[in-house]
């Protein structure tokens, strides 16, 4: 496993990460880590590597874009001083372009997304032992679908930033694509965004495989 013993792993993102985590910091008892992939990552690490004592913290916030992450980055990432950081953001940046197309100020365009993610990584990477960047996704198997096509563009940005900075890259869209060969998107998420347990398990497995756990 890439994480050293007694590492603090902070996972940040939007509602897919949030999943009803505790406030102000998602850590502790009674589903403090939420009900999604973060809790599954923690459970697997504790079950398979109990000697490592990995400390997982969930700082996802529903509805967030990369712009929102920038606004809370100091308090929710830097001040908590993690050794490892996982970021999955971009779904709302794209989604607002399609579900509220006339409220253009709610969406985050590709250039701003790239610039902001790049700035956050540049600022934070030197303070970390490890960084994981996970793509946004849309559970739509037809790649010509306008929202799926746009989401893939944002995923490509994540790949570019990860490559530039030597971060671990997790292609969540590819993970869902493999399963959607056999399962309809509705079997994974009612709105093709917020995963059920199957979908969250896919995200957790993709993350765990990337850190060789």
Q: Residue 200: which of 11, 55, 67 has the closest Cα?
A: 11
Report the alpha-carbon distance of residue 119 to residue 104 in Å, rounded: 23
SS3 185: helix
Catalytic residue among 14, 15, 18, 39: 15
**Alpha-carbon distances, residue 96 vs 62, 87, 105, 108, 176 (angstroms):** 13, 19, 9, 8, 21
Q: Is 194 a catalytic residue?
A: yes
Q: Is 182 a catalytic residue?
A: no
Report the alpha-carbon distance of residue 10 to residue 73 in Å, rounded: 12
Report the alpha-carbon distance of residue 167 to residue 152 in Å, rounded: 19
Q: Is 184 a catalytic residue?
A: no
Catalytic residue among 39, 114, 194, 200: 194
CA dihedral sign, ordered 170, 118, 110, 87: positive
Q: How many CB atoms lie within 10 A of CB 174?
A: 12
Strand partners, 12: 87
Q: Phi-psi bin for 30: left (phi > 0), alpha (psi -120 to 50), beta?
A: left
| Catalytic residue list | 15, 191, 194
């Amino acid at each position: 496993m890439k994480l050293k013993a007694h590492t603090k792993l902070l996972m940040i993102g939007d509602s897919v990460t949030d999943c009803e985590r505790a406030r102000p910091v998602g850590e502790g008892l009674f589903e403090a880590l939420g009900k999604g992939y973060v809790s599954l990552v923690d459970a697997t690490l504790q079950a398979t590597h109990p000697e490592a004592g990995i400390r997982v913290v969930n700082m996802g916030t529903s509805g967030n874009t990369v712009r929102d992450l920038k606004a809370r980055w100091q308090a929710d990432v830097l001040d908590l001083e993690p050794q490892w950081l996982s970021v999955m953001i971009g779904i709302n940046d794209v989604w607002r372009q399609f579900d509220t197309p006339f409220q253009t100020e709610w969406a985050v365009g590709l250039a701003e997304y790239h610039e902001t993610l790049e700035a956050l990584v540049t600022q934070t990477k030197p303070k970390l032992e490890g960084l994981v960047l996970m793509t946004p996704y849309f559970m739509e198997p037809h790649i010509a679908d306008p929202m799926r096509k746009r989401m893939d563009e944002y995923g490509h940005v994540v790949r570019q930033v990860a490559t530039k900075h030597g971060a671990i890259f997790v292609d969540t869209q590819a993970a869902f694509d493999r399963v959607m060969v056999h399962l309809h998107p509705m079997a994974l998420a009612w709105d093709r965004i917020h995963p059920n347990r199957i979908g969250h398990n896919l995200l957790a497995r993709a993350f765990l495989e990337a850190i060789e756990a």
